[in-house]
Amino acid sequence: MTELKNDRFLRALLRQPVDMTPVWMMRQAGRYLPEYRATRAQAGDFMGLCTNPELACEVTLQPLDRYPQLDAAILFSDILTIPDAMGLGLYFETGEGPRFKKSVHTAADIEALPIVDPHKDLPYVVDAVSTIRRELNGRVPLIGFTGSPWTLATYMVEGGSSKDYRRTKAMLYDQPEVLHLLLEKLAISVTDYLNAQIEAGAQAVQIFDSWGGALSYNAYQEFSLRYMQKIIDGLIKEREGRQIPVILFTKGGGQWLELMAETGATTLGLDWTTDIGQARARVGDKVSLQGNMDPAVLYASPEAIRREVATILKGFGNGSGHVFNLGHGVTPHVDPAHAGAFFEAVHELSAQYHQENS
């Protein structure tokens, strides 16, 4: 494989010295970019884009071509590919978000679901990873990703997005054994899926636990963290002579950082509701941190963006172990020039915090 020209992102994840804080952005290949919208129109729809490895590669590389400051690429795909491969029939309703033609409500429904074989059931994702890795040609590392079992389960039980997770939470409290059956099946599928991405060329992986923050303290440990721990335990740890870092991101999970740091994850993602300096004090040197600017800051002026970047960098302080990111995905109405101002500010303002390494 081609040698990495920029490994700042991987080094920061592993708390190794870097010259400046690396930066990437969740959903960086997305609707805020006109070139992405043009490619998506060419594909016909979102799933047409996801299932075409060449076009998925094209949109993955678009933000890197526009923003030379980016220190990582992330696979263009969707967290719901696994439930789709289980036969639930994923589709996207305009203005409604993801929906499934079928949902699961009983033990019999769940027992009928297959374990996903990523090479047989999701070849377009595996092919996209290998295509992107080849086309990157060592520019920056490639991140693979998945949804967490709990997050995937909520979509599968609710039949799509939900604000209250009423069916899933009713199952959690009324029939915990049924929900555990689903989560176990998902954990096996997700582990195999991430390992297939690593084998195809992903150099780091992120688990998106988008809805873990909706759980109570005890339920989070039993129904979300427990299964993410199983996944981390089952992942390929090293490839091409490098460690494969694992980023664990629970949106709304700031109260559980110490528990999350015990999973063996390399890095914890933070949303914007957690102070990054306090988070660093709580987890010490067990893990690195990723985050955590409020995505809405990108609607403000470049000067305001720069001030917020400076505040977060100062909050983390000196030394490595920080990957700058938003606290959630970039939103569609952001001005692309503001995203550029964000990336420039991170590199320019962070060098002072790494002077001992320069």
Residues labelled as active-site residues: 27, 31, 40, 78, 155
Question: Token pair 């990495």 is at which residue?
Answer: 4
CA distance 202 to 238: 11
CA distance 217 to 265: 20
Task: Give the neighbor-by-neighbor strand order of the sheet with 246-250.
Answer: 73-74, 142-147, 204-209, 246-250, 267-269, 288-293, 322-326
Residue 250 phi/psi, 5° resolution?
A: -105, 110
Residue 152 phi/psi, 5° resolution?
A: -60, -40
Beta strands 238-239 and 242-243, pairing class: antiparallel
CA distance 49 to 324: 28
Locate 339 and state its tokens: 């995203």
